[in-house]
Every structure is written in structure tokens, then in C-alpha cells.
């Protein structure tokens, strides 16, 4: 039995074998907070993933010789107070939480009588291992700095592998029908089955179903999922990174973000595995660089931006969008085929890949003037990889451009032409992907041109949107009036789309 008065509190998104608070002889406390689990009506697959991974992690620590106090408590504070009273803890160690509110809570623990608190850096993010010398204004210089810090895809002379930093221009192909290897599936073991049963009672408001739960929940399974992606889907990841398909949920994406976001995978080892595949001739450079950019570039940049912009980011609304989220975001029952397919996919599995999030869901929300906080809430509740640090800057910042351009330099808006170019969603849709006005005109078209007309002066000032705004010159006064009238009609019956 451990006799030390030191304990390390490990959160459910910090399940790393490299947790900096782990030390021989130091007791571990882990808490299933019922308040946190029910803070929102989260997707059941996400809840099962976290709690099953926590229980498996606790079992692995015990097998490694750690004394683990695993508690189910009404909330974190109650659980910690019970732990302190039971074991006489005088020094509580924790790794800084990734989310703002929980980190604020950790800092307030210093007010607990008789307890010394040490908050360690969150080493699950490379940006906390390699802090930038100065705040990065844009993602690209940030990404290059992270490449230099890590040495990933950097040659001995200091230049980027392949002579250029970014191969994004090669990664924009439409899916061509080639076979798509599915990700590994992991049948629930006894621990996971018990978690499913427990959470059915503990989280009555949760959405979705966990009946077909098959996600990795251990470090070993996470490594298997990583190896499977590297071997079977990474080679085709790059060319089809932006492609969308009604038939294939993932295409060649990794679906590793849920595992990275709870600590079962380390970002450096994940990116390094892709680089190793390139070095051994198993994957092309464009695919590997695109994946590395997602892991050590965008993911780390988003985390860094989150901590720069919080807490004001939560209320950002630069485009003054106030329309409620349509009810069909909770059912998928809309005649717009792209939105119906993507929303139904998310409600079913808790996942869709990043282009569908950006160019279908967020694109529509921007064009329709949906209130950013409503969109942000939906993402936080529906996705298995959703945490405030990643959702809020991605949705309010990049996806909706509601932060005034501090995360992304332009709003990512597009008409049906982009969706048709990158997917098969327009095929069989009741709406005409080429029409701007008329009874069958695709709402994406009408709302896209309406957005340009409404915000023309502001958009003209953005050099990255020049060509799109210049297209307004081809519209006659009558065409403009027709677009505005139809857009107002569409927005007035948005629930019926």
C-alpha cells in the first residue's frame, strides 16, 4: 500500500503513458464526475470511449504497480475531497487541463485548506513542449516552426523534405471510386460492456447509441489503429484529403483524433509514424506532409490560439449572426442531400471528417447566419473527438470566421459548385446545383450569393476573397434583387429545406 501523502490527479483526456505526474510510489486518483459527464447531452459513443479508456488506464496502472484510487463522484471537487480525507493527501499534482474551465478549477484548488497544488505543463501538446519564441500570427509560420522544432520532414541542411513546406495543392482530388480499407474495429470487452450499461443509467440525456461501439480504448489498441492507418490508408490520404463521399464515412482519413485528444496516442509519435512510412517508401511525400501538417501544424495551432483567445472567443460573433440552429441538425431530415448525409453520419457515429465539418456544416451555418454559439454547442455535443480547446477555435474561429479573422484570414464559404466538385452529394438531390434562383435552386447557391451581396463592402477589403466578390459585377440589378428575395424566403422557411 502506498503511504505517500502525494497524489497525482489524472483527467479523462490525459490517459498518456508519458503523463509527467506519474512517479513510482506516488498514488493516482481518477474521478468519474457525473456532473462533467452530464454537462451537455454528449454522444454516447464519446462518453463510452472516455470512461472505458479511463477504466482500462486505471487497470494498466495497477498492473504496473501504482496505487490507484478510482472514484465515481457527483463532481470533481467532491471526489478530490473524499480522496484527500481517505488518504491524508497533502500535495496534489496535476497536469494542466486542456480546457479553460477545468484549468481554472485546478487553479482554484490552491484555496483548499491544507493542500499544496502543483500544476504541470500539458505535455500532450507539442506547443507546450516547444513554446514559440513569439506569438504566431498565422498558421503557416507556426507550422514551419513546429517542423523545425521536431525535425519532422527536415533535411540535414535545414530545408524541408522535397524542397517545399506544403503540398496542399496536390491534395484536392475528388474520390475516384478506388477501394477504401475500413479502420480496425475493436469488440467491447467486459470493462467496456459494463461502461455501456453504467452510462445508460448515469447519462440519461446523452444522444446517439453505443450499441455498436467499436473504438480503441487502450494504449495497445490505439497503437494498432495508428499502424493500420499508416499501412492501409495513409498512402491515399493526401490526394483525397478534401474529398467527400456519401458511401464512405472516412475515405482515407485516420479517425485518430479521438485517441490523440484523450492521450492514448502522442502527437509526436503519430506524426513520426507517418514520416517513417515515407522514409521507408511506403507512402508518398504529399500524403505524409498533409498528415503531419494536420497533427503538428493545425492541431497545435488551434490549441495555441484557443489559449490566446479565451474566454472572449466563446462569445465572438463578428458577422452578427443570430438565427437559431435548425431543428433538422438533430434529425438529419432535410432535403439538402449533402447536409442530410453528413448530419445523419454524425448523429449515428459521432464523427465525420474535417472537410465535411468545414465546407458543408460550417459553410451552411455562415451563409444562413446561424448564431455561432449554437453551432459550437452542436459540435461539442455530437462529436466523439470534441473538446472545447479544439471545437471552439475550429468552429467559431475557422469555420464561422466569427472571431474577426484571428484564426483564419477569410470566411470559408462556397456555393454548391464546390460541394459538387469534391463529392457525390449533389447527385440525386432534389435541388439544382447550378441554379441561383428558382423553386429548385440549391440553397447553398442562393445563400452564397446573398452573403456576398450583403457583405460586399467588407469582403472587398479582404484580398483573399477578391475573385469571389468580383463575380458580383456580372450580376444585374434585377438578378441581385431576385437573389436577395429568394434568400429571405429560404431563411424564412429554413426548417422546411
Residue-level pLDDT at 135 = 62
**225: closest CA among 236, 234, 235, 212?**
234
Give the bridge partners for 68, in sequence order: 28
| Residue 216 burial (CB count, 10 A) | 27
What are the DSSP calls for 203-270, one per residue? -TT-BS--TT-----SHHHHHHHHHHHHHHTHHHHTTTTT---SS-SSTT----HHHHTTTSS-HHHH
pLDDT for 1 equals 42
CA atoms within 13 A on the CB side of 330: 13
CA distance 48 to 212: 11
Q: Is 50 exceeded by the pLDDT of residue 274?
A: yes
The pLDDT mean for the chain works out to 95
CB neighbours (10 Å) of residue 235? 17
Write the DSSP symbol of residue 160: B
Average pLDDT over residues 392-399: 97
* Euclidean distance between CA atoms 10 and 218, whole angstroms: 16
pLDDT surpasses 60 at 125: yes
pLDDT value for 3: 52
pLDDT of residue 131: 74
Whole-number Cα distances in Å, 62 to 1, 16, 69, 105, 265: 11, 15, 10, 27, 20
- Would you say residue 457 has pLDDT above 90? no
Q: Name the grid cell of 344.
A: 445523419
pLDDT band, very low/low/confident/very high, at 276 (cuts 50, 70, 90): very high
Q: Which of 371, 343, 410, 388 is nearest to 139 (CA)?
A: 410
**Which pLDDT belongs to residue 487?**
97
pLDDT in tens, 199-245: 999 999 999 999 999 999 999 999 999 999 999 999 999 999 999 99
Top-ranked range on mean pLDDT: pick from 121-135, 402-416, 437-451, 469-483: 437-451
Note whether 186 and 217 are within 8 A (CB): yes
- Of residues 43, 21, 24, 25, the one with CA closest to residue 95: 21
What would the mean pLDDT of 274-283 be, rounded to a whole number? 97
Model confidence over 235-269: pLDDT tens digits? 999 999 999 999 999 999 999 999 999 999 999 99
Residue at grid coordinates 469571389: 468
pLDDT tens-digit series, residues 9-21: 999 999 999 999 9
CB 266 within 8 A of CB 124: yes
Residue 329: pLDDT band (50, 70, 90) is: very high
- Among 27-31, 161-165, 467-471, the minimum mean pLDDT is found in 467-471
Amino acid at each position: 500500500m502506498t503511504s505517500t501523502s502525494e497524489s497525482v490527479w489524472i483527467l479523462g483526456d490525459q490517459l498518456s503513458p508519458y503523463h509527467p505526474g506519474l512517479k513510482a510510489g506516488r498514488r493516482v486518483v481518477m474521478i468519474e464526475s457525473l456532473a462533467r459527464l452530464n454537462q451537455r447531452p454528449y454522444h454516447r459513443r464519446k462518453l463510452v470511449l472516455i470512461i472505458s479508456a479511463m477504466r482500462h488506464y486505471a487497470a494498466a496502472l495497477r498492473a504496473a504497480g501504482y496505487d490507484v484510487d478510482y472514484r465515481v463522484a457527483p463532481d470533481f471537487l467532491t471526489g478530490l475531497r473524499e480522496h484527500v480525507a481517505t488518504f491524508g493527501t497533502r500535495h496534489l499534482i496535476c497536469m494542466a487541463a486542456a480546457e479553460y474551465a477545468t484549468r481554472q478549477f485546478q487553479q482554484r484548488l490552491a484555496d483548499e485548506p491544507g493542500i499544496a497544488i502543483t500544476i504541470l505543463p500539458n505535455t500532450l501538446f507539442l506547443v507546450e513542449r516547444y513554446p514559440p519564441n513569439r506569438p504566431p500570427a498565422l498558421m503557416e509560420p507556426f507550422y514551419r516552426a513546429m517542423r523545425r522544432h521536431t525535425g519532422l520532414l527536415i533535411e540535414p541542411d535545414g530545408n524541408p523534405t522535397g524542397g517545399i513546406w506544403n503540398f496542399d495543392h496536390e491534395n484536392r482530388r475528388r474520390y475516384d471510386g478506388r477501394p477504401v480499407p475500413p479502420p480496425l474495429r475493436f469488440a467491447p470487452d467486459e470493462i467496456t460492456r459494463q461502461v455501456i450499461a453504467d452510462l445508460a443509467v448515469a447519462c440519461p440525456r446523452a444522444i446517439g447509441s453505443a450499441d455498436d461501439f467499436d473504438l480503441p480504448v487502450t494504449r495497445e489498441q490505439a497503437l494498432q489503429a495508428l499502424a493500420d492507418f499508416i499501412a492501409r490508408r495513409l498512402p491515399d490520404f493526401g490526394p483525397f484529403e478534401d474529398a467527400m463521399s456519401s458511401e464512405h464515412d472516412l475515405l482515407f482519413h485516420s479517425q485518430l483524433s479521438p485517441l490523440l485528444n484523450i492521450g492514448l496516442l502522442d502527437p509526436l509519435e503519430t506524426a513520426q509514424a507517418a514520416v517513417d512510412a515515407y522514409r521507408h517508401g511506403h507512402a508518398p511525400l504529399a500524403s505524409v506532409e498533409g498528415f503531419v501538417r494536420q497533427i503538428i501544424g493545425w492541431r497545435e495551432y488551434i490549441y495555441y490560439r484557443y489559449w490566446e483567445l479565451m474566454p472572449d472567443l466563446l462569445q465572438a460573433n463578428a458577422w452578427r449572426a443570430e438565427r437559431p440552429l435548425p431543428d433538422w441538425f438533430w434529425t438529419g431530415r432535410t432535403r439538402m442531400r449533402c447536409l442530410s448525409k453528413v448530419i445523419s453520419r454524425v448523429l449515428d457515429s459521432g464523427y465525420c471528417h474535417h472537410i465535411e465539418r468545414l465546407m458543408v456544416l460550417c459553410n451552411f451555418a455562415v451563409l444562413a447566419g446561424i448564431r455561432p454559439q449554437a453551432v459550437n454547442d452542436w459540435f461539442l455535443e455530437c462529436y466523439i473527438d470534441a473538446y472545447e480547446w479544439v471545437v471552439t477555435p475550429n468552429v467559431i474561429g475557422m469555420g464561422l470566421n466569427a472571431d474577426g479573422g484571428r484564426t483564419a484570414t477569410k470566411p470559408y464559404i462556397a456555393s454548391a459548385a464546390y460541394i459538387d466538385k469534391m463529392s457525390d452529394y449533389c447527385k440525386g438531390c432534389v435541388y439544382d446545383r447550378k441554379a441561383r434562383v428558382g423553386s429548385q435552386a440549391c440553397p447553398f447557391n442562393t445563400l452564397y450569393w446573398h452573403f456576398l451581396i450583403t457583405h460586399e463592402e467588407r469582403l472587398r477589403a479582404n484580398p483573399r476573397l477578391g475573385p469571389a466578390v468580383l463575380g458580383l459585377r456580372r450580376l444585374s440589378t434585377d438578378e441581385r434583387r431576385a437573389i436577395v428575395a429568394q434568400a429571405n424566403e429560404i431563411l424564412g422557411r429554413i426548417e422546411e429545406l
